[in-house]
A and B are shown apart, each in its own frame.
Chain A
Amino acid sequence: MSDNVNPYKQAHTREKAARLKAEQLLEDKSRKLFQQKIKLEESYIKLRQQESAMLQNEQLATLGTLSAGIAHEINNPLAFVLSNMESLNNYTKSFQKLLLLTQELIQTEGIKETEKSLLTDLIEQEDLAFINEDVDELLKDTSDGLHRVRKIINNLRSFSPTQNTDKVETNLLKGLKSTLKLLDSELKGSVDLQLSLLPLPNTLCNPNELNQVFLNLILNAKQATEDTKEATIKISSHYQNDTIFIRIQDNGCGMTDEVKKQIFIPFFTTKPMDKGTGMGMAIAYGIIANHQGKIIIESIEGSGATFEIQLPVIQTKL
Chain B
Amino acid sequence: MKGVIFNVLEEMVEENCGMAVWNDILNQELPEGGIYTAGESYPDEQLFNLVNAVCARTKLPMEKVVGNFGEFLFTQLAARHPVFLESPADLKSFLKSIDSVIHVEVRKLYDNPNLPSFKYSEPDPDLLIMQYRSPRKLCILAEGLIRGAAAHYGQSVEISHPICIHRGADWCDLHIRFLP
Contacts and interface: CB of A to CB of B under 8 A. Distances in A.
Interface in A13-69: 20, 23-24, 26-27, 30-31, 34
A216 B109 CA distance: 54
Contacts of A31: 105, 108-109
Contacts of A12: 19
A275 interface: no
Contacts of B38: 23, 26-27
Interface in B77-95: 80
The B interface is mostly helix, strand or loop, or mixed, namely: helix
A25 to B, nearest CB: 12
Contact of A30 (B4, B19, B109): B109
Interface residues of B, number: 8
Contacts of B39: 23, 26-27, 30
Interface in B84-134: 105, 108-109
A9 interface: yes
Contacts of B4: 23
Contacts of A9: 19
Given A31-B108, A31-B109, A24 B19 contact: no
A286 to B, nearest CB: 48
Nearest to A28: B109
Contacts of A24: 80
**How many of chain A's residues touch chain B, expressed as a range?**
10 to 19
A96 B66 CA distance: 113
For A12, A23, A31, A34, the residue with the greatest tally of chain B CB atoms inside 10 Å of its CB is: A23
Contacts of B80: 20, 23-24, 27
A26 B38 CA distance: 10
A27 B19 contact: no
A34 B19 contact: no
A112 B80 CA distance: 127
A30 B39 CA distance: 11
A14 B108 CA distance: 29
A26 B37 CA distance: 12
A23 B39 CA distance: 8
Contacts of B108: 30-31, 34
Contacts of A26: 38-39
B105 to A, nearest CB: 8
Nearest to A26: B39
Nearest to B110: A30
Interface in B5-41: 19, 38-39
Contacts of A30: 39, 108-109
Nearest to B19: A9
A31 B107 CA distance: 10
A31 B19 CA distance: 33
Nearest to B83: A31
A30 B109 CA distance: 6
Contacts of B19: 9, 12
Contacts of A27: 38-39, 80, 109
B1 to A, nearest CB: 16
For B4, B19, B105, B108, the residue with the greatest tally of chain A CB atoms inside 10 Å of its CB is: B108
Nearest to A37: B108
Interface string A112-147: 000000000000000000000000000000000000
Contacts of B105: 31
Nearest to B3: A23
B6 to A, nearest CB: 13
A184 to B, nearest CB: 56
For A20, A27, A30, A31, the residue with the greatest tally of chain B CB atoms inside 10 Å of its CB is: A27
21 contacts: A9-B19, A12-B19, A20-B80, A23-B4, A23-B38, A23-B39, A23-B80, A24-B80, A26-B38, A27-B38, A27-B39, A27-B80, A27-B109, A30-B39, A30-B108, A30-B109, A31-B105, A31-B108, A31-B109, A34-B108, A34-B109
Interface of A: 9, 12, 20, 23-24, 26-27, 30-31, 34
Interface of B: 4, 19, 38-39, 80, 105, 108-109
Given A20-B80, A23-B39, A30-B109, 12 more contacts: A9-B19, A23-B4, A23-B38, A23-B80, A26-B38, A26-B39, A27-B38, A30-B39, A31-B105, A31-B109, A34-B108, A34-B109
